[in-house]
Structure 1
């Protein structure tokens, strides 16, 4: 009996001999390719030989072979020690939305049988990291990633640290191995130390690399519009590019622990929290002028992550006229020994003064991060939507 997985979920593997089969319902006119990419601990490719695709169907180690267009054989016992992940990807030239019936995969071997059903409708991305097999503490696991890239194979290759010749728009799956060799016109590779959650609802799940997550750092920052000039604060250009006078943006969070304890950390009411005692969440100050280059920072004590149920990260305009579309606001979530997670506040012009940016959840001990970027008229309306159940009254700094 198969075990269905959902996006972001992982499961232990009990065998090293596995078969991965893709099943895609599509018309014959759709150009679709499946590939496997073997990655080092950094999440980057070590060499162009670590791509397995139709024109290079077998890895030199014998760890991965493409048997046909939709089937891969995997022998985890043959994965070289310096390689710790195998990512399986799909590329659809017409975009995932062309897969009206969606896509699925089945990963099976002696004692293992896992399945996943993914959606294609409404998705403009042309390439997709479907799942990955990864080694952790001498054990292998499977994880459903389901992360798409709008530009096709080139941005996906860049995501894995590959330098692409001739610009991102010119690379295709068939060019990938040669594109991995840097040339005089090669573009700079994207550093895999940062992963961007592009669309509302995008998620990623981080697992502990040691006994705890350490200090989880949430930074809110921005670039002023028009390029050049000094940083003015996340809302420094809201009033037509002038000084930030009158604009006061606050970073904060609503939290809920597994024992039912709930609370808020924010500058309003001077609820700055504490890192070393409950609630183990700390706001390092209140930038009321937008002049602090480091932006606003919130810290979560990862040693107590097992006590946490969820943490909702928000930004709130305490003073000033909301015009989020004039900013390049972004939150970066940093965790030791993990890739940075970037979330951009990509509103098209909301006039609400409260933005729920991200939700951090404890899912079986993992740190699950989802992009929200939902706008509300204030704390109370957002609370009602997300169900924390606080009692509200007017507050001051």
Structure 2
């Protein structure tokens, strides 16, 4: 069924019950972040765990799952009674406006209904908007309904978070006077600027990480991240297909944000664990295939999974660290 902006209809009318997929496809030269907000009866994000997007790919109970770019798998039966509305959004990451997008659409489908409802739209629908509410799935009168929303905001993802009652920390309008003695921990720094200067390929991931940190009030936290890699035989496919390297890429902006040294501690383990070199913005891009000759050559012994031995190494290492254990 073809639907248009503003149209509302019950999911039952398009043959959908509790399980469905919502796919948002936007044609643009800009990076588009697609998210799903699970809202309460006041249309507020009262539980951050129900904001599903790049950095949080599932909600409690897997009621909402991000299964691919712009594609969400929904189990309405698994949603708590406190969640009354799902809003699927799209936001431009960086410069640009929604008026510049070309032919785009969203599709709502379900088991036995591969294209139950399709809504086509393009840049002509918008003007200066950088973020839009694409579609809603909501409860009314004891049934689930859908709305082709397509309303927008002049700002990006942060404006959506604020609109739904979430918190995004703002930088102060004026910087406070510099203390006579530099503090042990700097209050804030620009994650995006640091990544842009040293690893521009990670800039999009850094922007998304910054939003998550601000939303959860973690911008001032200092911590050490450790990436502990299972190098047993069952993981060969994940390494060969580049999935482990992709996971490292996603972690790097967080490591830079949390650690003053901008390093990600890396450990590997099979029958025995090995402490690898730290990953940094200068060596991360091909780390998995080059560190100590590449993952196939790491000295982890037999390619079996001995997690307790790996955990002992980590505990010993951090207990002996001046930052975490006894001096």
TM-score, structure 2 normalization: 0.51
Identify the residue that residue 87 of structure 1 maps to in structure 2: 87
Q: 2: CA distance between counterparts of 1:97 and 1:52?
A: 25
C-alpha distance in 2 between matches for 1:19 and 1:108: 5
Residues 1-397 of structure 1 mapped to structure 2, 5 A cutoff:
3-14=1-12, 15-27=17-29, 30-93=30-93, 94-99=96-101, 101-110=102-111, 112=113, 113-121=116-124, 123-166=127-170, 173-181=208-216
Quote the offset at 1:143 in angstroms.
0.6
How much has 1:33 moved relative to structure 2? 1.1
Query: What per-residue deviation string (whole Å, max 9, x for no partner) do you get for residues 108-138 of structure 1?
Result: 1146501111221462211110011001122
Instruction: Report deviation, 1:179.
Output: 3.1
Which whole-Å deviations, capped at 9, do the CAs of 1:307-344 have from their partners, x for residues lacking one? xxxxxxxxxxxxxxxxxxxxxxxxxxxxxxxxxxxxxx
Report the CA distance between 1:164 and its aligned residue.
1.4
Q: Equivalents in 1 of 2:171, 2:87: separation in Å?
A: 23
Superimposed CA distance per residue, residues 234-255 of structure 1 (whole angstroms, 9 cap, x where no aligned partner) = xxxxxxxxxxxxxxxxxxxxxx
Cα gap change, 1:23/1:168 in structure 2, threshold over 3 Å: closer, same or farther? farther
**Contact 1:63–1:78, Cα closer than 8 Å, also in 2:** yes
Partner Cα distance (1:18, 1:147) in 2: 23
- Cα deviation 1:195-223 (Å, max 9, x = unaligned): xxxxxxxxxxxxxxxxxxxxxxxxxxxxx
Quick one: distance in 2 between partners of 1:129 and 1:38? 13
Match of 2:278 in 1: none
For the residue of structure 1 that corresponds to 2:123, the secondary structure is coil
- 1:80 and 1:96 map into 2 onto residues whose CA distance is 33
Task: Give the total of aligned pairs.
Answer: 180
2: CA distance, partners of 1:129 / 1:88: 6
Determine which structure has the larger strand proportion and give its number. Answer: 1
How far does residue 9 in structure 1 lie from its aligned partner after superposition? 1.2
- Give the C-alpha shift of residue 42 in structure 1: 0.4
How much does 1:183 deviate?
8.3
Conserved 8 A contact 1:10-1:142: yes
What CA distance in whole angstroms lies between the structure 2 residues aligned with 1:5 and 1:83? 25
Q: TM-score, normalization: structure 1?
A: 0.42
Residues 154 and 168 of structure 1 are in contact (CA less than 8 Å); yes or no, is this contact kept in structure 2?
no
CA RMSD of aligned residues (A): 2.6
Structure 2 unpaired stretches of 5+: 174-189, 193-206, 221-327
Aligned partner of residue 159 in structure 2, secondary structure: helix
Tell me the distance in 2 between the aligned counterparts of 1:184 and 1:39. Answer: 25
Q: Which has the higher helix share?
A: 2
Single out whichever of 102-111 and 15-24 deviates more from structure 2: 102-111
User: How far apart are the structure 1 equivalents of 2:62 and 2:117?
Assistant: 23
Deviations 1:65-89 (A, max 9, x none): 0011121101111111111001000
Q: Secondary structure at the match of 1:19?
A: strand
Q: Secondary structure at the match of 2:120?
A: strand
Q: Which runs of 5+ in 1 are unaligned?
A: 186-397
